[in-house]
Structure 1
């Protein structure tokens, strides 16, 4: 593990206090930096430990990192379920402003990294911000939110061995929930009309859970927001790396790589790369060893360092 200095930082965002850690390399300052975005669900600044080796790779290559606890996680106030993709993107913008103001950071060499849902944020910000030195989207869907929810549902049941009839029933429930979200139905209604009857089905334990009004509020926000990943990719303005694992079961990786590559060819930025690691899962790990697939960490560090100079 590379030695680095860790600086605790806080910033205010719409009444919240968000807390994070800035990891600084030992090399001479000022440093380039990668601001990191976690995937979906509750997550602290280390993403439950997942970010550790990725952070170390950046630091080894002379790139500082900053990540912050999601609202209501770690030392951050609030509740992550209150915020959809747009608000998460705005929180990232505030984090970028924070690190740019730090004396140890080269304000002209600031990039972003995001995994899974965090990759959606990277796609958004890379299409909107002119001043990014680089952007890396790892296992980022090219599906729209509603499509991704249906994909999650189908493949969760398929992996658990349910037959096609069960999968069809589960997808019918998922579609009904999406319609209820669009129509503004509250949790009590969808619990009584949809979730409780479905809970008697053998496949329900494999269905993505919605536990209480907070979860439902979050789902309704995600579904209501316009989000067009392929359109974002076509509008990328900075050096961009899209990485997929060929054995990912949470999104269609080969389709994602093809759509990313095709969209990035039309982007404003000419420095774009799409890579697939054939034996990588959604976490870019070998599912048998739970270790990152060979070459993944090296690609992240070297690719970012080449753009951060």
Structure 2
């Protein structure tokens, strides 16, 4: 991190004012009294550690680094944001913008979530924060380069190093069922003549790159490396509209993302190095829902399924259980949790009740409900612009993906699955709780004698060794995937995909 080029107290940013001399500097006597010059506005450049007071009586820590980019050290400073508790790492917020008529104040904004910080640097720095028109109490302090490096440094010892002992091929393939969608991915192929068994990796919810990167963890890269060293070809790809893949994800439902996964399977099946009769799917989180959907739609083309924290209940039920556990892990009082869950449940009831109706009807009913909910909030929590807040909420709540997710019952696909299935969950998973989802998966696959279920004590949603399973722990844990999970998958694949005895790696 580049050090500040001028002392903060003397940095000249808005006006060409000289530094005001400090009290211990000698100053020549004036022959006539004159007004003392105002201090120059202080630059926002540096590292800043702050905290927001959330309505649920908990705090949310954030870090801002305002520095010129390393590749343009003489250029303007750019703000980058870290929020460890919310898996936000190094999000670029652009250049700080001086506030008109408020010398020394600067704003940085995150348009995607309608959030704005106003930072007033100096010896006693201060800040304000608003999101969707709602203000939250904000505190900030300067942070040394050393403290910043320690707080944001992320060791990832499982990331592969060196030249791998297998073929790595970057490729692009089209989804013939979705014009304009071209998916970019990485195919890793074991040594030897083949044809090899293969898997497609299916990512969780939210736009993900081919490595399913989160907090600098790259679980799909590590999984692909492990499997390929043990004789399984692996295709992983950037989600539609993310990374190097094209297409508009805002228009896509879960079924559309499943069709992208099927395009990946078809791409593998056409390769001479791949055995088309031994192609399976490994899906994490939502990928554990799209995987069965693909297998149920193409039952003779998928040889096996691995569900990594896959859900077995409808989306509304999953999100309700998830919210209760996550809010509790953040210290939210029980009464507030029930209030938040009740509001979400009301939204989901509208989505469920409007199945079969057009988009305009859904949006109109959601808008009416959200207006009631926002208007009922206490004055300090109510957005100043309710219409803008509603529009922001509707971008998610009325999106094809969210609506399909809330209405979709995974058991519809699972009940049709006849191929071998391995279902894995961490006992500390707060996002796909095992006590809710494993029994549902087992019930849906009651007919399938080739089901194997493993629950790992002490592992979270990412299959990391954790203390509580809270999302805030993800970044601090150095392990990306517990080795016992990797070995469990490989040992199981040895049986169902007829691999040779797995080697170490």
TM-score category of the 2 structures, normalised to the smaller one: 0.7 to 0.9
Q: In 1, distance between residues paired with 2:487 and 2:367? A: 49
Kept in 2: contact 1:279–1:293 (CA 8 A):
no
**Structure with more relative contact order (C-alpha pairs < 8 Å, separation 6 or more):** 1
The equivalent residue for 2:334 is 164
Secondary structure of 2:445's partner? helix
Q: Does 1:305 align with 2:494?
A: yes
Q: In 1, distance between residues paired with 2:171 and 2:192? A: 21
The range that moved more, 254-263 or 110-119, is: 254-263
Out of 14, 32, 38, the position equivalent to 2:203 is 38
Out of 256, 265, 280, the position equivalent to 2:446 is 265
Q: In 2, distance between residues paired with 1:243 and 1:253? A: 9
Q: How many residues align?
A: 300
Q: Does 1:100 align with 2:269?
A: yes
The equivalent residue for 2:165 is 3
Q: In 2, distance between residues paired with 1:188 and 1:64? A: 47
Secondary structure of 1:185's partner? helix
Q: Does 1:219 align with 2:402?
A: yes
Kept in 1: contact 2:318–2:432 (CA 8 A):
yes
- Give the drift of 1:153: 2.2
The range that moved more, 252-261 or 94-103, is: 252-261
Q: Which has the higher helix share?
A: 1
RMSD, aligned CA: 2.6
The equivalent residue for 1:148 is 318
* C-alpha distance after superposition, 1:116-156 (max 9, x if no partner): 00001122233342232211001011121111122222222
Q: 1:179 to 1:7 in 2, by over 3 A?
A: same
- Give the drift of 1:193: 4.5
Out of 164, 187, 196, the position equivalent to 1:22 is 187
Secondary structure of 1:247's partner? coil
Q: In 1, distance between residues paired with 2:245 and 2:432? A: 29
Q: In 1, distance between residues paired with 2:221 and 2:375? A: 40
Matches within 5 A, 1:71-86: 71-86=240-255
Q: In 1, distance between residues paired with 2:252 and 2:430? A: 26
The range that moved more, 117-126 or 285-294, is: 285-294
The equivalent residue for 1:112 is 281
Secondary structure of 2:363's partner? coil
Secondary structure of 1:86's partner? helix
Q: Which runs of 5+ in 1 are unaligned?
A: 205-209
Normalised by the size of structure 1, how large is the TM-score? Answer: 0.87
Q: In 1, distance between residues paired with 2:369 and 2:221? A: 39
- Give the drift of 1:29: 2.2
Kept in 2: contact 1:20–1:45 (CA 8 A):
yes
The equivalent residue for 1:59 is 228
Q: In 1, distance between residues paired with 2:483 and 2:174? A: 39
Normalised by the size of structure 2, how large is the TM-score? Answer: 0.55
Out of 242, 254, 275, the position equivalent to 2:435 is 254
The equivalent residue for 2:453 is 274
Q: In 1, distance between residues paired with 2:484 and 2:378? A: 43
Larger Rg: 2
Q: In 1, distance between residues paired with 2:247 and 2:170? A: 19
Q: In 1, distance between residues paired with 2:254 and 2:219? A: 21
Kept in 1: contact 2:464–2:482 (CA 8 A):
yes
Q: In 2, distance between residues paired with 1:281 and 1:250? A: 9
- Give the drift of 1:294: 4.2
The equivalent residue for 2:462 is 283
Secondary structure of 1:295's partner? helix
